[in-house]
Amino acid sequence: MASTAATFDFTKRLRQVSDRDVENLRENFLEPALAFDASALGNNRLFPWEMTWFYGEPIWHELSEDKQLLLNRLSFCQSYYSTAVAEAATNALNYAATVDGLIEGDTEVAMYMAREAVEETMHIQAFLVLIGKVLDHYGLTLDDLRAANVSLPMARRFVQGHSLVGWLRGDLNYYYFTRFALNVNQKTVERCTIAEPEMDPAVRAILRNHAIDEARHMQMSRGTGKVALERMKSATMRNLACFGFAHFAASIYIGRHGRDSALARRTRVRTLELCGVGRQDAERAYVAWRDRVHQMEDPPLVEAGRVYYLKQICSYIDELPGVGQRMKAYMRGVVEKAYHDAVVAMDRRGAKALEFAELKRTA
């Protein structure tokens, strides 16, 4: 147990920061969400304009300005409702990790994971308040949003899959090891949302606070991920875990993605339908968008976001302890294949990854 405590020592530092932040959770999240007035949105956006689904496509130009704004706001609602569900799924697994930690003597890690669950619960609550108000403003309901977002049940499978693997293995190391990819994805989209020039200031303030909490969660997942891999007992286990991680990371997308699943496709199509586009037109628009028929290259922000994600995942792979060079090359290859457009953008056009300055609390 002594070596375990030493290995996870960085958790103590993260919890000290969290101890300060936890006192202000209500003030940083729920109160501004409750004060948010969707009828005062005006022309303010809620999502990066260039990351709005179908941005720049022929169907986008057929939409009126009001409908473009609706699609931008629905992209926010779908993205953050998915985030809320994913954070609830993470809570289920983090609390299972808390149970394990308390039983096995990793008290520090256990209490940090429990603290993350407290933070995520407040995030979820604030997001639901915001999303509810935006939908209400348009005469839509959460049921309308959920009906369009057919990819949500993936979160249930995520919890079931990791619980099953955890039960079979006797630990949650595989969960710890793989969750970093979700953090990078969330960070990329959220930091672009905060940086959107015409972002609604009230929502921006809440998302800024979220990005600060999540930066700490990401440090935790990066640190624990590498420790968890080292703790796997055999090279075969580690290689299997690496194989799984590479395919998981390759399936996570920012913007349009060649490996979009059928569920992602239906979610995009049905969200476009909520903007008044007919099913067949929406299906056609989706295929043309995904297959880069009209826009070979992504808008600059999306391209930089995809390059950022790819670089972060590759640097995580490079840092993995106890993994051979051949496996690392395989892992990079899997992710680069799914993010081929980002590789091409870097090689041929010198595309740069997004750069993020460190965020500090202002409120």
Residue ranges in contact with Fe ion by CB under 5 A? 87, 120, 123, 214, 217
Residue 115 or 238 having the CB closest to Fe ion: 115
170: region left, alpha or beta (phi > 0 left; psi from -120 to 50 alpha): left
* Smallest distance, Fe ion to C-beta of residue 358, A: 17
Residue 49 or 81 having the CB closest to Fe ion: 81
In angstroms, the CA 55 to CA 295 distance is 10
* Smallest distance, Fe ion to C-beta of residue 115, A: 11
3-state secondary structure 310-334: HHHHHHHHHHCCCCCHHHHHHHHHH
* Smallest distance, Fe ion to C-beta of residue 120, A: 5
Residue 88 or 237 having the CB closest to Fe ion: 88
* Smallest distance, Fe ion to C-beta of residue 216, A: 8
* Smallest distance, Fe ion to C-beta of residue 172, A: 16
In angstroms, the CA 342 to CA 305 distance is 9
For 40, 124, 147, 210, the CA distances from 83, given in Å and listed in that order, are 25, 8, 16, 11
Q: Tell me the two tokens of residue 290.
A: 């995904």
Residue 22 or 237 having the CB closest to Fe ion: 22
Residue 120 or 298 having the CB closest to Fe ion: 120
* Smallest distance, Fe ion to C-beta of residue 71, A: 24
Q: Taking the chain, what is the end-to-end CA distance rounded to the nearest angstrom?
A: 40
In angstroms, the CA 217 to CA 208 distance is 14
Residue 249 or 274 having the CB closest to Fe ion: 249
* Smallest distance, Fe ion to C-beta of residue 229, A: 20
Give the residue among 220, 230, 186, 202 at the shortest CA–CA distance from 113: 220
Three-point CA angle 119, 120, 126, nearest 5°:
95
* Smallest distance, Fe ion to C-beta of residue 217, A: 3
In angstroms, the CA 54 to CA 89 distance is 28
Which residue bears the tokens 């101890």?
Answer: 19
Residue 46 or 71 having the CB closest to Fe ion: 46
Q: Tell me the two tokens of residue 232.
A: 């796997």
Compute the half-sphere exposure of residue 53: CA atoms within 13 Å on the CB side of its CA: 29
Residue 219 or 251 having the CB closest to Fe ion: 219
Q: Tell me the two tokens of residue 340.
A: 């081929």
